């Protein structure tokens, strides 16, 4: 079953007379419950794709349907509801609220997400049950990223969008985070979409989407994705 | 190239720069304006005092002074010059207006300043030199005839000159009136020759030439030394008033003192807020520019060059704010000090030039230096360490756990409350500045509006209610006996007063002895409640009670002028009074054996039905006194309008500047909330609620602080009115609502910005 469908989607940025096509007539279909990696060099348009999918940005042309809902024509408030209910975000730089504790950072989603899960459970599942009263600045980078994942998951979203989630982490911590993300897909049935330029991560994916110059070069399913431990980091 | 960057950065942070410039301009404006006010007043007063030979001492005697007496005083060592002088209140024919008619033998002392017309001529037998203000208000022109009457005498003369005089700088008929009212009261000079002409020959034969009951003296001696020398020269005790004890000097200098107080309190409030806001603003700007500072450093720019570049922002803010502030200062100074401005309705000066005191420039230069230094130190902090250190983005202080967080109450708070609370504590300087701005706004509002309440209550109790008569009848004390006065009082159903001057130690006070049987005069106590006078003691005014530490039951000894007799009275209570006075009933005065002469009646009888009577000098309607308040209240309203404007501007500028800063500092956090799924309205309400909390706290502090500042101002500026602070519920309500409105409006302005947050761009930025 398709959970994401891009139909002839373009995103054009205009700056005076200059026009930049970040995405150019993209068509893409992604299935539910898969671990998907979007690969491509810098400036290829992969982050734009993720931002459109996450409701942070709207397409200039085309239609994006996520979980049966056309999100390309939503108002600002409807997009906020979409972000609150359907997608969760994990960033390279974590983006936690520095003035809230770990538990509070996760619990804050209860204010907006109707299907929110227990914050304690989420933090336990990412292995941070002992750090719930710490402030983000008191945690390591990997721990902060795990809080960010717990926060994203606490909304109980259909899709988890991750923008270079291991980009700021050392390889050991990166592996830990990837293992966590993978288990979310395998055990919880979440659709995980990771944007990265790291080829190694792609080897773990169920589906690999190759992006270049604003276009989809390929969208291939991998029959035998590797486990995290099998990938040479 | 760096210069281009300077201007582009200015544009980038225009909200902060503009609000800082406005803050500095307001501070400088208020500082320069108020200091310019008192300093210009001092300078312009110096001119008229010197141009008209304002006298240093006035010697009074009800029996008058002979030319021999004058010669004896002039001969005293230390006496520069002296003159025999006379001033009586005359009535203008066919009118209820009064004119203080002045006769002066030697115009070098207590003389006049010609504004238009012919110069003063001591030989003129029909010339009147009239107050130009009175002439203007009553449409009297040069060459017009004027008939003035005093007792049974009348003088018809021609207005030959329009003048001003330092003796009538503040032209009031008596102390009950607050403000000059030239439509009904003025002054004029005539020559001794004209005066002699109207005194009938037979009368002149009786009293000789002793009709001058005053000698005015210019001398450098101290009052004590002069009194001693004068009493020795004339062989009797004398009532001597130094210039400090005259209305024209004391009140005018009171205005200077008030200006000095205002020139120090308000500007300190504004400048302190400006400088403190500058600390947070410069820190914020340099923190956001840290990577650029690092870039310049790693490119090879010397620290000194970078320091100069960034200090230039602070210098520019200081300079631009100061230039604008000087403009505002001149405007404020001019607003108070111009020939048709607020001060001119009170003080009648010939010149209204504006001067900035020398220290104004020093403070200004100092302030610009401090601001530049603040900028310098902010950059210096960012430049610390190696070029690589400087290149790293600024990281705000790490969060620390608070003891408060362990409480159940804190744990029960919503995330928004916790977020705001921790943010306030994390950015303490910003929070304190915001609080300071709100408290400042409240102080100005409560102080300003409370001033009006206090003045309203003062006028209501002191005048509207305490003056329970329609007309004050002034009797001719030389010709009336107490028996005659009492029968007049009975005739007009009047209460009466015998007022005289007494001395306690070396200070002069007014002694007022009342006969109250018709409730025409009432006496407010310290709580502004009316008391009926007891026959078992005397009452002192609040200032005397404070200065002499007098309480009910204490005794007080005084002696009349021209007499060595001493009287000791028991203090029965303390009254609020405009005049520094001792008040007692006639019965108590008789108990202590004090001999008094009734000189005033208070009655509801119609002015037209009173007199003509040989014993009556003139009739002063209550309305004339009440009219002068309209002007007083008008002035008050102007001042309050200015204060309210200042409060609102201060509130808006401080809150907006810090609100924008808070917004910038939390931009990334808000972008995160937005990505997580929070709606703009929710994020906006989080931002506004922080502003509103600070407003509640600021209001809670500002209410008592405003009342405290008002109490201080009443004591420092208007002790002579013995006002009791009165702040009505409407004042509290308006101050709270206005502060809330300002806070809410600014909060909304800032909150509106979150709609424009670019989530993608915001979250890309590295921490």
> Three-state secondary structure along chain A?
CEEEEEEEEEEEEEECCEEEEEEEEEEEEEECCCEEEEECCCCCCHHHHHHHHCCCCCCCEEEEEECCEECCCCCHHHHHHHHHHCEEEECCCCCCCCCCCHHHHHHHHHHCCCCCCCHHHHHHHCCCHHHCCCCHHHCCHHHHHHHHHHHHHHCCCCEEEEECCCCCCCHHHHHHHHHHHHHHHHHHCCEEEEEECCHHHHCCCCEEEEEECCEEEEEEECCCCCCHHHCCC
Answer whether A147's CB lies under 8 Å from A128's CB: yes
Strands A159-163 and A87-90: parallel
Q: Give the gap in angstroms from C-alpha B679 to the nearest C-alpha of chain A.
A: 6
Cα-only R_g, chain A:
17
Q: Give the gap in angstroms from C-alpha B687 to the nearest C-alpha of chain A.
A: 14
pLDDT value for B204? 64
Residue B326 pLDDT grade (very low, low, confident, very high; cuts 50, 70, 90): very high
The 8 Å CB, 24+ separation contacts for B93-96 are B93/B146, B93/B147, B93/B148, B93/B149, B93/B154, B94/B147, B96/B184, B96/B607, B96/B619, B96/B621, B96/B624
Taken in order A39, A43, A47, A48, the sign of the CA dihedral is negative
A75 lies within 8 A of chain B by CB: no
Domain boundary pick from B188, B220, B252: B220
How far is it, in rounded angstroms, from Cα B40 to Cα B356?
Answer: 7
In a domain, B742, yes or no: yes
Give the count of Cβ contacts less than 8 A between chain A and B: 93
From the CB of residue B398, how many other CB atoms can be counted at a distance below 10 Å?
11
Tokens of B584: 């007692």
Residues of B with a Cβ under 8 Å from any A Cβ are: 396, 398-401, 414-416, 418-419, 422-423, 426, 668-669, 671-680, 682, 755, 759-760, 763, 765-767
Question: Of A80, A81, A95, which has the smallest distance from its Cβ to B763's Cβ?
Answer: A95
From the CB of residue B9, how many other CB atoms can be counted at a distance below 10 Å?
18
Best to test chain A binding among B401, B415, B421, B676 (most A CBs inside 10 Å)? B676
Cα-only R_g, chain B:
33
Is B199 exposed, middle or buried (CB count within 10 Å of its CB: 0-12, 13-18, 19+)?
middle
pLDDT, average across residues B73-85 = 94
Q: Do B678 and A111 touch (CB under 8 A)?
A: yes
Question: Given a cut of 80, is residue B743 above it in pLDDT?
Answer: yes
pLDDT value for B206? 58
Q: Do A111 and B755 touch (CB under 8 A)?
A: no
How far is it, in rounded angstroms, from Cα A90 to Cα A107?
Answer: 16
Q: What is the DSSP string of B695-719?
A: HHHHHHHHHHHHHHHHHHHHHHH-G
Question: What is the widest separation between alpha-carbon atoms in chain A?
Answer: 55
Q: For residues B732 and B657, state if they share a domain.
A: yes
End-to-end CA separation in angstroms for chain B: 29
Q: Considering its fold, how many domains does chain B have in total?
A: 4
Q: Do B676 and A135 touch (CB under 8 A)?
A: no
In a domain, B163, yes or no: yes
Selection from B326, B346, B248 nearest residue B639 by Cα: B346
Angle at which helices B729-752 and B428-458 pack, to 10 degrees?
150
Q: For residues B294 and B172, state if they share a domain.
A: no
Question: Given a cut of 80, is residue B241 above it in pLDDT?
Answer: yes
Q: What angle do CA B207, B209, B212 make, to 5 degrees?
A: 100
Q: For residues B557 and B632, state if they share a domain.
A: no
Q: Residue B196: helix, strand or coil by DSSP?
A: helix
% of chain B surpassing 70 pLDDT: 96
Q: For residues B247 and B350, state if they share a domain.
A: yes
Question: Of B400, B418, B676, which has the smallest distance from its Cβ to A109's Cβ?
Answer: B676
Q: For residues B630 and B735, state if they share a domain.
A: yes
Residue B602 pLDDT grade (very low, low, confident, very high; cuts 50, 70, 90): very high
Is B701 exposed, middle or buried (CB count within 10 Å of its CB: 0-12, 13-18, 19+)?
middle
pLDDT value for B1? 62
Taking contacts as CB-CB distances below 8 angstroms, the residues of chain B near A54 are 675
How far is it, in rounded angstroms, from Cα B628 to Cα B637?
Answer: 14
Q: For residues B66 and B49, state if they share a domain.
A: no
Q: Give the gap in angstroms from C-alpha B650 to the nearest C-alpha of chain A.
A: 30
Q: Where are the beta strands (DSSP E) in B370-442?
A: none
How far is it, in rounded angstroms, from Cα B343 to Cα B180?
Answer: 11
pLDDT value for B12? 81
Q: For residues B137 and B149, state if they share a domain.
A: yes
Taking contacts as CB-CB distances below 8 angstroms, the residues of chain A near B677 are 80-85, 109, 112-113, 155
**In this structure, what CATH number is given to the domain that contains residue B542?**
2.40.70
Domain boundaries along the sequence of chain A = 33-60+75-227
pLDDT value for B611? 67
Q: For residues B196 and B182, state if they share a domain.
A: yes
Q: Residue B261: helix, strand or coil by DSSP?
A: helix
Q: For residues B597 and B639, state if they share a domain.
A: no
Best to test chain A binding among B412, B425, B675 (most A CBs inside 10 Å)? B675
**Residue B464 DSSP one-character state:** I
In a domain, B205, yes or no: yes
pLDDT, average across residues B427-451 = 88
Domain boundary pick from B373, B395, B417: B395
With CA atoms as reference, the chain B residue closest to A109 would be B676
How far is it, in rounded angstroms, from Cα B527 to Cα B599?
Answer: 29
Question: Given a cut of 90, is residue B610 above it in pLDDT?
Answer: no
Name the more confident of A229 and B353.
Answer: B353
Phi, psi angles (nearest 5°) of residue A28: -155, 140
Q: For residues B751 and B632, state if they share a domain.
A: yes
Q: For residues B127 and B259, state if they share a domain.
A: no
Tokens of B566: 């001493």
Question: Of A80, A137, A151, which has the smallest distance from its Cβ to B398's Cβ?
Answer: A137
pLDDT, average across residues B488-507 = 87
Q: Is the peptide bond before B612 cis (omega within 30 degrees of 0)?
A: yes
How far is it, in rounded angstroms, from Cα B698 to Cα B432?
Answer: 10
In a domain, B591, yes or no: yes
Q: Residue B475: helix, strand or coil by DSSP?
A: strand
A100 lies within 8 A of chain B by CB: yes
A158 lies within 8 A of chain B by CB: no
A85 lies within 8 A of chain B by CB: yes
Of A72-86, B290-304, B710-724, highest mean pLDDT = A72-86
In a domain, B109, yes or no: yes
A164 lies within 8 A of chain B by CB: no
List Cβ neighbours of B595 (8 Å cut-off, separation of 6 or more): none
Domain boundary pick from B395, B415, B435: B395
In a domain, B108, yes or no: yes
Q: Do A135 and B669 touch (CB under 8 A)?
A: no
Only one residue has tokens 């609020």, namely B576
- pLDDT tens, residue by residue, B357-405: 999 999 999 999 999 999 999 989 888 877 777 777 777 777 777 777 7
Phi, psi angles (nearest 5°) of residue B537: -175, 175
Q: Do A133 and B401 touch (CB under 8 A)?
A: yes
Q: What is the mean pLDDT of chain B?
A: 86
Taking contacts as CB-CB distances below 8 angstroms, the residues of chain B near A93 are 763, 765-767
Q: Residue B373 sits in which domain range?
A: 1-56+243-395
**Stretch 37-56 of chain A: residues touching chain B, C-beta under 8 Å:** 47, 51, 54, 56
Answer whether B238's CB lies under 8 Å from B561's CB: yes
Q: Give the gap in angstroms from C-alpha A54 to the nearest C-alpha of chain B.
A: 8
Superfamily of domain A33-60+75-227, CATH level 4: P-loop containing nucleotide triphosphate hydrolases (3.40.50.300)
Question: Given a cut of 60, is residue B766 above it in pLDDT?
Answer: no
pLDDT value for B767? 41
Exposed e or buried b per residue across B155-179, where buried means at least 16 C-beta atoms within 10 angstroms of its C-beta: bebebbbbbbbbbbbbbbbbebbbb
In a domain, B747, yes or no: yes
H helix and E strand count, chain B: 23, 21
Residue ranges in chain A whose pLDDT is less than 70: 233
Q: For residues B459 and B475, state if they share a domain.
A: no
Question: Of B423, B668, B675, which has the smallest distance from its Cβ to A89's Cβ?
Answer: B675
Q: Do B760 and A57 touch (CB under 8 A)?
A: yes
pLDDT value for B116? 94
In a domain, B44, yes or no: yes
């Amino acid at each position: 079953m398709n959970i994401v469908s891009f139909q002839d989607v373009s995103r054009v940025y205009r700056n005076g007379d200059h026009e930049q096509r970040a995405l150019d007539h993209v068509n893409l279909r992604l299935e539910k419950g898969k671990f998907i990696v979007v690969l491509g060099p810098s400036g290829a348009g992969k982050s734009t794709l993720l931002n459109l999918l996450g409701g942070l940005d709207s397409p200039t042309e085309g239609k994006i349907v996520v979980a049966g809902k056309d999100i390309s024509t939503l108002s600002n408030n409807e997009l906020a509801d979409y972000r609150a209910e359907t997608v969760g975000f994990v960033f390279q730089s974590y983006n936690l609220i520095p003035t809230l504790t770990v538990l509070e950072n996760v619990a804050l989603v209860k204010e907006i997400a109707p299907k929110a899960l227990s914050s304690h459970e989420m933090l336990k599942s990412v292995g941070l049950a002992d750090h719930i009263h710490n402030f983000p600045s008191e945690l390591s980078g990997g721990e902060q990223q795990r809080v960010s994942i717990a926060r994203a998951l606490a909304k109980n979203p259909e899709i988890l969008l991750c923008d270079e989630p291991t980009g700021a982490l050392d390889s050991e911590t990166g592996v830990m985070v990837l293992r966590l993300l993978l288990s979310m897909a395998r055990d919880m049935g979440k659709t995980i979409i990771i944007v990265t330029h790291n080829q190694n991560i792609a080897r773990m994916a169920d589906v690999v989407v190759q992006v270049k110059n604003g276009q989809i070069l390929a969208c291939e399913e991998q029959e035998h994705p590797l486990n995290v431990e099998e990938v040479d980091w | 190239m760096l210069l281009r960057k300077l201007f582009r950065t200015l544009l980038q942070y225009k909200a902060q720069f503009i609000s800082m410039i406005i803050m500095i301009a307001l501070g400088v404006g208020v500082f320069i304006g108020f200091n310019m006010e008192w300093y210009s007043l001092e300078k312009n007063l110096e001119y008229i005092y010197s141009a008209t030979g304002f006298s240093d001492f006035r010697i009074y005697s009800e029996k008058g002074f002979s030319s021999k007496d004058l010669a004896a005083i002039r001969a005293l060592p230390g006496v520069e010059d002296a003159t025999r002088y006379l001033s009586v209140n005359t009535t203008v024919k066919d009118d209820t207006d009064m004119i203080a008619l002045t006769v002066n033998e030697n115009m070098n002392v207590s003389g006049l300043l010609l504004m238009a017309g012919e110069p003063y001529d001591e030989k003129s037998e029909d010339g009147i030199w009239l107050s130009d203000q009175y002439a203007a208000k009553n449409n009297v022109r040069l060459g017009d005839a004027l008939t003035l009457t005093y007792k049974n005498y009348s003088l018809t003369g021609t207005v030959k000159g329009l003048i001003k005089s330092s003796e009538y700088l503040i032209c009031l008929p008596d102390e009950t009136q607050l403000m000059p009212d030239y439509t009904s009261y003025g002054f004029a000079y005539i020559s001794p020759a004209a005066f002699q002409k109207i005194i009938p020959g037979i009368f002149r034969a009786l009293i000789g030439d002793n009709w001058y009951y005053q000698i005015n003296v210019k001398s450098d001696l101290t009052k004590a030394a002069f009194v001693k020398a004068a009493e020795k020269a004339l062989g009797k005790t004398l009532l001597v008033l130094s210039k400090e004890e005259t209305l024209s000097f004391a009140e005018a200098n009171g205005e200077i003192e008030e200006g000095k107080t205002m020139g120090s309190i308000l500007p300190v409030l504004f400048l302190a807020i400006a400088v403190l806001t500058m600390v947070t603003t410069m820190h914020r700007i340099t923190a956001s520019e840290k990577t650029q500072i690092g870039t310049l450093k790693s490119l090879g720019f010397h620290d000194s060059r970078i320091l100069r570049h960034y200090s230039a922002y602070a210098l520019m803010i200081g300079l631009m704010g100061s230039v604008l502030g000087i403009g505002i200062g001149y405007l404020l100074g001019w607003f108070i000090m111009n020939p048709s401005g607020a001060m001119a309705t009170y003080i009648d000066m010939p010149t209204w030039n504006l001067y900035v005191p020398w220290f104004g420039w020093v403070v200004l230069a100092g302030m610009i230096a401090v601001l530049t230094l603040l900028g310098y130190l902010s950059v210096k902090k960012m430049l610390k360490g190696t070029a690589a250190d400087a290149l790293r983005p600024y990281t705000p202080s790490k969060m620390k756990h608070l003891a408060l967080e362990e409480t159940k109450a804190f744990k029960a708070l919503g995330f928004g409350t916790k977020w705001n609370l921790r943010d306030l504590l994390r950015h303490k300087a910003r929070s304190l500045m915001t609080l300071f701005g709100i408290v400042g706004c409240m102080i100005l509002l409560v102080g300003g509006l409370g001033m009006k309440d206090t003045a309203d209550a003062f006028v209501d109790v002191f005048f509207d209610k305490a003056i329970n008569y329609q007309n004050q009848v002034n009797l001719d004390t030389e010709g009336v006996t107490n028996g005659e006065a009492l029968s007049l009082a009975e005739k007009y159903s009047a209460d009466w007063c015998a007022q005289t001057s007494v001395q306690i130690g070396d200070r002069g006070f007014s002694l007022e002895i009342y006969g109250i049987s018709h409730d025409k005069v009432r006496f407010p106590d310290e709580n502004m409640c009316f008391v009926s006078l007891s026959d078992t003691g005397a009452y002192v005014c609040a200032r005397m009670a404070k200065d002499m530490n007098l309480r009910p039951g204490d005794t007080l000894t005084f002696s009349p002028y021209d007499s060595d007799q001493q009287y000791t009275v028991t203090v029965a209570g303390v009254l609020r009074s405009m005049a520094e006075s001792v008040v007692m009933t006639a019965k108590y005065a008789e108990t202590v054996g004090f001999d008094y002469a009734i000189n005033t009646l208070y009655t509801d009888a119609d002015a037209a039905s009173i007199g003509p009577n040989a014993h009556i000098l003139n009739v002063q309607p209550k309305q004339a006194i009440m009219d002068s308040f309209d002007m007083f209240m008008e002035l008050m309203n102007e001042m309050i309008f200015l204060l309210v404007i200042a409060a609102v501007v201060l509130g808006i500028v401080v809150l907006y500047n810090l609100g924008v800063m808070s917004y910038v500092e939390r931009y990334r956090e808000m972008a995160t909330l937005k990505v997580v799924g929070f709606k703009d309205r929710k994020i906006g309400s989080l931002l506004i609620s922080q502003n509103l909390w600070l407003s509640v706290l600021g209001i809670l502090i500002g209410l008592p602080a405003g009342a405290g500042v008002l109490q201080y101002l009443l004591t420092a500026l208007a002790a002579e009115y013995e006002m009791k602070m009165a702040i009505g519920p409407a004042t509290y309500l308006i101050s709270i609502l206005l502060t809330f409105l300002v806070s809410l409006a600014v909060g909304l302005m800032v909150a509106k910005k979150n709609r424009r947050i670019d989530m993608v761009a915001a979250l890309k930025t590295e921490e």
